[in-house]
Amino acid sequence: MKDPRKFLKPSTVNEILQDRAIRHAVYLVRVAGGEAKWFRDQLPGFRRRITEELAPFIARMDISGVVNNQLLFEEASQKAARVSQEFFEDIYQKQKERAVEIAVAESGFEARVLDDTLPIRTNFKHPSNILIEAMITSNPLDGKTMNEWFKDIPQTVQTQVNREITEGVLNGESQNKIMRRVRGTREAGFKDGIIGRAGRTAENLVRTGAMKASNVGREAFFQENSEVIKNYSWVLTLDSRTCTICVQGASDNPYPVGSPPQVPAHILCRCIFVAITKSWEELGIDLDEMEPGTRTAVVNGMRGEVPDTVTYQDWFEMQNTEFQADILGPSRFNAYEKGSKITDFVDNGKILSIEELKLRGLDFS
């Protein structure tokens, strides 16, 4: 097993780029969390509108039997689908605009990182916002575009509304209880109804969309400056030990320059990719024209080699305590100090709450 301590002081350009990428990915997770919060703030309005639209249908239903209510069931579910379609079309458009902003910022970030890291100055080309938006719109996420994912939600809502209302009537439930099947209950934070389930699906899309946007911005910048790129490396982050899809993807490193890793690889994936720069020899630059001291530094810096694989756990253990505490927060950092691993705080791409972690036996005392 390689000693991860050798990574403490990255010396080559590609080692530095990998180190910066892992550190930056931690903050991208926070950006994704902020996007998820933005979406959650929109959800109460959707819940109110669905409630207002469906309440008259449910009030007209005969709870003594199903047969006489078939038409109302169908009308109610179609109405729910129309309201959902309007809501999620608006969310998709706003999410796309926000994703473009993230991607543009990421493109600029990559330019600054490379400019700071390369031993000599390079005039980088910057991708246009039009190109970035086109990539945001067309690049698939787990086999579908973001627009296709959002379009699926209203159909699911329609099916679930029909099923839940029918089941409620079959069980002889009151109209209020049937409405709660749709709206959810206040005690559960409205997460237990159809709207809550649709909201979780959309929130996961928005969260993953932020990570997707960051990778699109990175990919667009590298496309514009492919002459300095040799290949790409898939970088695992917080859920590297729980997601076999991503572990397999990273095992295929390095990726050819024309085919960067398709990350996020799945919903709630947090992986990113980093460019591996060419060596000076591969760039066709004559090092003999440089001063001996400069020539040695340049050769050492631009070897064009893929850095050794370092897990997020190994990398995190090498950071100073201030950085660790900032990333984890006081409670998780306390648990980490008592022996918990970074990957203990994550399950299937989701950061677990303190309450969930306590149920798993983690020590926060």
- pLDDT tens for residues 350-364? 566 767 766 766 666
Q: Which of 229, 264, 292 delimits the end of a domain?
A: 229
User: Which amino acid, one-letter code, is at 164?
Assistant: E
My answer on whether 16 and 165 are in the same domain is yes
- Residue in the structure block whose two tokens are 């179609």: 78
My answer on whether 77 and 215 are in the same domain is yes
Q: Each residue of 32-52: pLDDT tens digit?
A: 999 999 999 999 999 999 999
Q: Starting from the edge strand earliest in sequence, which strands make up the sheet with 255-256, in order? A: 255-256, 229-235, 272-277
Residue 291 lies in a domain: no
pLDDT at 42: 95
My answer on whether 70 and 213 are in the same domain is yes
Residue 167 lies in a domain: yes
**341 — phi, psi (to 5°)?**
-95, 160
My answer on whether 63 and 200 are in the same domain is yes
- Quote the number of domains for the chain: 2
Q: Which of 200, 229, 258 delimits the end of a domain?
A: 229
Residue 187 lies in a domain: yes
Q: What secondary structure letter does DSSP report for 209?
A: H
Of 78, 50, 82, 84, residue with least CA distance to 179:
50
Residue 309 lies in a domain: no
Whole-number Å distance between alpha carbons of 358 and 365: 10
- Residue in the structure block whose two tokens are 């969310």: 91
> For residue 119, is the peptide bond before it cis, meaning its omega torsion is within 30 degrees of 0?
no
Q: Each residue of 305-346: pLDDT tens digit?
A: 445 555 666 667 777 788 778 777 788 888 888 887 776 776
My answer on whether 92 and 220 are in the same domain is yes
Q: Which of 208, 229, 250 delimits the end of a domain?
A: 229
Q: What secondary structure letter does DSSP report for 185?
A: -
My answer on whether 329 and 206 are in the same domain is no
pLDDT at 139: 92
Q: How far apart are the first and last CA of the chain?
A: 34
Residue 263 lies in a domain: no
My answer on whether 168 and 43 are in the same domain is yes
Q: Is the per-residue pLDDT at 234 higher than 70? A: yes
Range(s) of the domain holding residue 85: 10-229
Residue 5 lies in a domain: no
My answer on whether 68 and 204 are in the same domain is yes
Residue 242 lies in a domain: no
Residue 282 lies in a domain: no
My answer on whether 154 and 18 are in the same domain is yes
Q: Are 208 and 215 in contact (CB under 8 A)?
A: no
